[in-house]
């Protein structure tokens, strides 16, 4: 298979996948249950999620490994299962993706702070290295470092992936909009800062995920593109902000609403479009339909 | 330095997150004494612990909380200010324990059961402690039983509940109901990204804040 970046350079718009967390919850993942444990305990359910996105038209799917770092797994006493859980995650998605769709190994934040000395750079590097190697061994084509808010943690993750695998490296951050319509991650990083630093650090593809519906993502994409006019951009918007109504969680951006923003997102500079929290195979199908018509 | 000067310097260290002399953060204060050294010096000079708390720590953390609300600073600056404040508080602990310095009250805080997210909860805990309250942090994934035990062990405490996920807002609803059933006079303050003031009303909680400084203002008003 060609590298994802090469496909982008040849002008293609690619379709990524949708939410895993909310999908796992739908399939019965309990609150405070370890999502990665399902790769061993309920691999068939994880496979169903992966397959649903392939069926909906995704060119690439992620892996159930978002919290698969040593620090997050230690909450469940599974810090010694980093390799097994991540490898299994990639294997499941690889099976669903077959030989001609991409598998993106998901790497999420550790939740530990460098600035306070909570964790050292070496410790972060080591756990991201562990995950990256295991994901590649399970069949990942690329590694997607996502939902990052700290620029230093993101750079260390990129380095760990680049130096220990031959996978393409994608890195996305989560931004909040302030009242004055400025975007920052909770650690104070702007889309412009992110672009300069992550491209410098060697990321092949950058972007944003979570925290925002499609409209804000158009704004974020514009800022990224204004800083760098070449780097491939991946966007995973939420299906809007979740609301708690009648004792259930609802995401108010329907597939139609999401689809309505696809062309503006592409005009803003996005090259790969998928979804984050609350998005479903129906969202991906709707996105794919718009892209097909281009 | 006289006592006024040292308190100003200490407040500056807390506000800008200068923990101690060796700490590299912030770069603009490199090589200077930090909250740790200055607190020790102040006590040795005879500055009263209560003045250190009120004039330096509380004032500095109040500014930090305000700046965060105004989005002039972000999580890293809050964390470092809290770290500097803690370094100072270490020296004040004996005076809290002896009762020489009283705090405004007790605040129990936890992320509700089923939810493992703690950054927001930690920020609130830090800022509330910096405002002169004693904080009992129950951690994450805290059950109703654990909240109730903490209330039993800490008479008169206000309870803070945090949730980041909409899916655990149900948990928050259940826990507040159980608290109110057992201890109808206990004040419950809620917060977290998906939480709203409307939700507060729905579940019968007493207070809601969208940021740490709001929690401080709410708590201070209770004891004003």
Of B63, B98, B133, the residue that ends a domain is: B98
Residue B45 CA, chain-centre distance (Å), reads 28
Mean of all residue pLDDT scores within chain B: 97
Query: Same domain for B177 and B216?
Result: yes
Asked whether B174 and B205 are in contact (CB, 8 A), the reply is no
The whole domain housing A212 covers 4-292
Which of B120, B14, B112, B129 lies closest to B63 in space, CA to CA? B14
Query: Same domain for B84 and B110?
Result: no
A178 closest CB neighbour out of B71, B114, B166: B71
The whole domain housing B160 covers 106-223
Query: What's the ipTM?
Result: 0.92
Q: How confident is the model at residue B50 (pLDDT cuts 50, 70, 90)?
A: very high
- The residues, ordered by sequence, that sit 6+ positions from A215 with a Cβ below 8 Å of its Cβ are A261
Query: Same domain for B111 and B36?
Result: no
Please tell me the total count of domains within chain A.
1
Query: Same domain for B93 and B169?
Result: no
Q: What is the pLDDT of residue A18?
A: 98
What is the C-alpha separation between A72 and A110, in angstroms, rounded?
Answer: 6
Please tell me the total count of domains within chain B.
2
Q: Chain B interface, mutation test: which of A19, A187, A244, A278, most B Cβ atoms within 10 Å?
A: A244
CATH number, domain of B195, equals 3.40.50.280
What is the C-alpha separation between B199 and B208, in angstroms, rounded?
Answer: 9
**A31 and B79: CB-CB below 8 Å?**
no
Q: What is the pLDDT of residue B167?
A: 86
Which of A89, A81, A94 lies closest to A106 in space, CA to CA? A89
Judged against a pLDDT cut of 90, whether residue B69 lies above it is answered with yes
> Taking CA atoms, what residue in B is nearest to A31?
B114
- Tens place of pLDDT for every residue, chain A, 294 residues? 899 999 999 999 999 999 999 999 999 999 889 999 999 999 999 999 999 999 999 999 999 999 999 999 999 999 999 999 999 999 999 999 999 999 999 999 999 999 999 999 999 999 999 999 999 999 999 999 999 999 999 999 999 999 999 999 999 999 999 877 799 999 999 999 999 999 999 999 999 999 999 999 999 999 999 999 999 999 999 999 888 888 888 999 999 999 999 999 999 999 999 999 999 999 999 999 999 997
CA distance B115 to chain A (A): 6
CA distance A80 to chain B (A): 20
Q: In chain B, which residues have their Cβ closer than 8 Å to the Cβ of A28?
A: none
Which of A194, A89, A174 lies closest to A140 in space, CA to CA? A89
What is the C-alpha separation between B156 and A59, in angstroms, rounded?
Answer: 58
- The residues, ordered by sequence, that sit 6+ positions from B103 with a Cβ below 8 Å of its Cβ are B96, B132, B133, B134
H-only helix segments in A116-241:
121-138, 151-164, 191-201, 214-227
CATH number, domain of A32, equals 3.20.20.330
Q: What is the pLDDT of residue A246?
A: 85
Q: What is the pLDDT of residue A294?
A: 79
Of B98, B127, B155, the residue that ends a domain is: B98
CATH number, domain of B44, equals 1.10.1240.10
Q: What is the pLDDT of residue B74?
A: 96
Asked whether B103 and B96 are in contact (CB, 8 A), the reply is yes
Query: Same domain for B163 and B88?
Result: no
Query: Same domain for B80 and B115?
Result: no
Which of A294, A283, A231 lies closest to A252 in space, CA to CA? A283
Judged against a pLDDT cut of 90, whether residue B180 lies above it is answered with yes
Query: Same domain for B145 and B203?
Result: yes
Of B46, B77, B98, the residue that ends a domain is: B98
Q: In chain A, which residues have their Cβ closer than 8 Å to the Cβ of B164?
A: none
Q: Per the structure block, which two tokens stand in for A73?
A: 């797994």
Q: What is the pLDDT of residue B23?
A: 96
Using one digit for the tens of pLDDT, what is the confidence trace for B78-121? 999 999 999 999 999 999 999 999 999 999 999 999 999 999 99
H-only helix segments in B99-168:
119-130, 144-153
Query: Same domain for B137 and B189?
Result: yes
């Amino acid at each position: 298979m060609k590298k994802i970046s090469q496909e982008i350079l040849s002008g293609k718009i690619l379709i990524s996948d949708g939410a895993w967390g909310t999908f796992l919850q739908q399939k019965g993942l309990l609150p405070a249950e370890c999502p990665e444990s399902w790769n061993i305990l309920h691999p068939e359910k994880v496979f169903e999620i992966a397959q649903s996105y392939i069926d909906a038209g995704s060119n690439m799917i992620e892996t159930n490994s978002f919290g698969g770092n040593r620090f997050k797994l230690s909450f469940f006493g599974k810090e010694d299962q980093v390799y097994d859980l991540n490898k299994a995650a990639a294997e499941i998605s690889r099976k669903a993706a077959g030989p001609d769709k991409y598998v993106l190994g998901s790497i999420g934040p550790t939740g530990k702070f460098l600035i306070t000395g909570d964790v050292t750079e070496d410790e972060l590097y080591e756990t991201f290295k562990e995950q990256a190697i295991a994901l590649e061994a399970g069949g990942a084509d690329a590694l997607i470092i996502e939902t990052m808010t700290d620029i230093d943690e993101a750079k260390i993750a990129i380095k760990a992936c680049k130096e220990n695998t031959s996978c393409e490296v994608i890195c996305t951050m989560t931004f909040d909009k302030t009242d004055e319509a400025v975007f920052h991650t909770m650690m104070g990083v702007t889309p412009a800062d992110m672009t300069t630093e992550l491209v410098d650090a060697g990321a092949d593809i950058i972007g944003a995920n979570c925290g925002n519906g499609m409209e804000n993502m158009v704004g974020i994409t514009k800022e990224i593109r204004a800083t760098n006019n070449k780097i491939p951009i991946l966007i995973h918007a939420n299906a809007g902000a979740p609301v708690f109504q009648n004792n259930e969680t609802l995401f108010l951006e329907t597939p139609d609403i999401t689809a309505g923003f696809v062309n503006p997102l592409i005009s803003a500079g996005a090259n790969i479009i998928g979804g984050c929290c609350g998005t479903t195979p129906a969202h991906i199908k709707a996105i794919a339909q718009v892209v097909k018509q281009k | 330095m006289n006592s006024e000067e040292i308190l100003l310097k200490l407040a500056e260290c807390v506000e800008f997150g200068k923990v101690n002399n060796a700490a590299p953060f912030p770069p603009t204060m490199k090589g200077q004494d930090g909250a740790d050294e200055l607190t020790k010096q102040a006590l040795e000079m005879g500055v009263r612990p209560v003045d250190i708390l009120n004039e330096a720590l509380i004032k500095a953390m109040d500014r930090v909380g305000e700046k965060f609300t105004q989005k002039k600073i972000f999580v890293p600056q809050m964390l470092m200010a809290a770290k500097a404040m803690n370094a100072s508080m270490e020296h004040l602990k004996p005076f809290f324990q002896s009762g020489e310095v009283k705090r405004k009250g007790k605040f129990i805080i936890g992320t509700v059961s089923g939810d493992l997210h703690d950054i927001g909860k930690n920020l609130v805990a830090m800022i509330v402690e910096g405002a002169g309250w004693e904080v009992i942090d129950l951690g994450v994934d805290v059950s109703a039983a654990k909240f109730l035990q903490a209330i039993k062990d800490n008479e008169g405490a206000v309870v803070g509940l945090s949730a980041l996920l909409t899916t655990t807002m149900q948990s928050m609803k259940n826990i507040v109901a159980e608290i109110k059933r057992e201890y109808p006079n206990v004040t419950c303050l809620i917060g977290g990204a998906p939480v709203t003031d409307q939700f507060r009303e729905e579940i019968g909680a007493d207070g809601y804040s969208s940021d740490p400084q709001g929690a401080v203002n709410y708590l201070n008003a209770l004891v004003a």
